[in-house]
Amino acid sequence: MNLSELTTESADPRFAGIDTMSVGELAATMNAADAGVPAAVRTALPSITPAIEAAAARMETGGRLVYVGAGTPGRLGVLDASECPPTFSTPPGQVFAIIAGGESAIVSPCEGAEDDEAAGAAAVESAGIGPLDTVVGIASSGRTPYVLAAVRRARELGALTVGLSCNAGTPLSAAAEHGIEVLVGPEVISGSTRLKAGTAQKLVLNMFSTIVMVRLGKTYGNLMVDVKASNGKLRERAVRMVATITGAGRDEALAALETNGFNVKQAVVASRFDLSPQDAAARLAAAGGRLRVALGETA
């Protein structure tokens, strides 16, 4: 592919004079450029929605959500995956990211790694990717060799594959079962896809992980009832959630949490039905971990 033909690599004449602008002018220019990103994501919703639905269906049967990227897209995948355990108490390995160049590339640029096709395919194989898994390849250009090879190999292994890019008609979209193309246009600094393209990718990844987790019963309404209460702020949030759902006072909610190992869902079920921690856990397990079902409400 001729890189000069890619929208993400083109130079927009509107931004040709940014080096002569004041700080205020440049901030306003960047803000105006960024304003179009949510609209671009909205335009891509018809391709985003079925990809998330398919991913959620596989994860409901025990599958994993795996992001693959190089450079900024890889780091965005790492960021999104790393937020799932504290927010949704996902077990180790249920949501994770593969980045070209390995863990060191998270903080130290390893730009040449994105061209290593063999490494991309090998990383997928090393992760034991299989038919229950969903692999989301992220590449602004839509033609990064490492990501393309990883997605192609994942598809050969039977995984659901998704390609997220910011150009039209990309090889990544062709390689994946679900192609998502968020067309944000040229960057304020030509080719610097950590800007609008990166913002668009983060918005889509937010949707992926959040919606999948909601579908898996990790929330009750808009409350993160599967939160891992590992610090003072999160423990206080847990208390408020138990109090809100059960109608209990703060002291009663705190006592229920302490009795139930600060497991919000278990504390709610135990309080609602006056159950022991063991019986509350059993009721939750029978409901597939879904609090609304365990409470006897409409699923």
Which residues are known to be catalytic?
A: 83, 114
Identify the residue whose tokens are 């897209």.
73
The amino acid sitting at 31 is: N
Q: How far is CA 233 from CA 69, 119, 237, 258, in A?
A: 32, 41, 6, 15
Rounded to an integer, what distance in angstroms lies between the CA atom of residue 84 and that of residue 156? 27
Phi, psi torsion values for 272, nearest 5 degrees: -65, -40
Strand order in the sheet with 134-138: 95-99, 65-69, 134-138, 160-165, 178-181
3-state secondary structure of 135: strand
Burial class (CB in 10 A: 0-12, 13-18, 19+), 244: middle
* Total residue count of the chain as it appears in this document: 299
Rounded to an integer, what distance in angstroms lies between the CA atom of residue 42 and that of residue 245? 33
The amino acid sitting at 129 is: I
Among residues 37, 61, 208, 39, which one has the least CA distance to residue 132? 61
Beta strands in the chain (DSSP E): 65-69, 95-99, 134-138, 160-165, 178-181
